[in-house]
């Protein structure tokens, strides 16, 4: 499913530029994706479209957000499905002020709808990119680098 999502992200620069799901399915099939992988991705994208249309997300400011004292508590099911690595990354984006609460909830919702137990960090990064994409927003360049770069060869100073 995530290969399909990456293909969609790379070929349709914004969520509103993406064709209807039925037409998208035909395009994906023409590019050689498996029918079951296409169906899973289209169902996931349909849920993303629904969540994005119903969310009220402010324009990004990319400054450290002042907290209102609210605390997001994850259910046991969310903790199990997302795992410590993904929850830590969501917390990082939240504390950096680049993932407003409404977008964070969409990320969590779509991660819960994703396969994998727990969801891998690389898959979560694709989910975050797809949420930005569906909202017609592009993440800050440093956050985009964090979402797209392969960190396996990185050496700490």
In the 8-state DSSP scheme, what is residue 17? G
What percentage of the chain reaches a pLDDT higher than 70? 83
DSSP-derived secondary structure letter, 15 = G
- φ, ψ dihedrals at 19, nearest 5°: -70, 170
Helices assigned H by DSSP within 56-100: 76-95
Measured CA to CA, the distance from residue 56 to residue 48 in angstroms comes to 14
59: which DSSP letter?
P
pLDDT of residue 135: 87
pLDDT for position 56: 61
Residues 130, 123 contacting (CB under 8 angstroms): no
Residues in the chain predicted with pLDDT less than 70, given as ranges, are 13-15, 56-69, 149-157
Tens-place pLDDT, residues 66-101:
445 678 899 999 999 999 999 999 999 998 889 999
* pLDDT score for 63: 44
Residue 62 CA to residue 154 CA, distance in Å, equals 25
SS3 103: helix
pLDDT at 91: 93
Through-space distance between the first and last CA atoms of the chain, rounded to whole angstroms: 36
pLDDT for the residue numbered 154: 46
Residue 64: predicted pLDDT: 43
Contact 135, 102 (CB under 8 A): no
Round to whole Å and give the CA distance between 48 and 101.
16
Closest by CA position to 135, among listed 64, 32, 51: 51
């Amino acid at each position: 499913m995530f290969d399909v999502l990456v293909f969609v992200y790379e070929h349709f620069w914004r969520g509103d530029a993406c064709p209807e799901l039925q037409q998208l399915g035909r395009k994906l099939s023409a590019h050689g994706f498996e029918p079951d992988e296409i169906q899973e991705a289209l169902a996931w994208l349909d849920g993303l479209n629904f969540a994005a249309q119903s969310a009220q997300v402010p324009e990004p400011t990319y400054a450290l957000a002042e907290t209102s004292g609210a605390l997001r508590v994850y259910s046991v099911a969310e903790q199990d499905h997302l795992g410590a690595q993904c929850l830590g990354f969501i917390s990082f984006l939240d504390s950096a002020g680049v993932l407003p609460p409404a977008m964070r909830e969409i990320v969590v919702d779509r991660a819960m709808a994703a396969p994998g137990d727990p969801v891998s960090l690389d898959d979560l990064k694709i989910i975050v990119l797809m949420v930005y994409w569906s909202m017609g927003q592009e993440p800050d360049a440093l956050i985009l680098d964090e979402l797209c770069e392969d960190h396996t060869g990185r050496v700490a100073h």
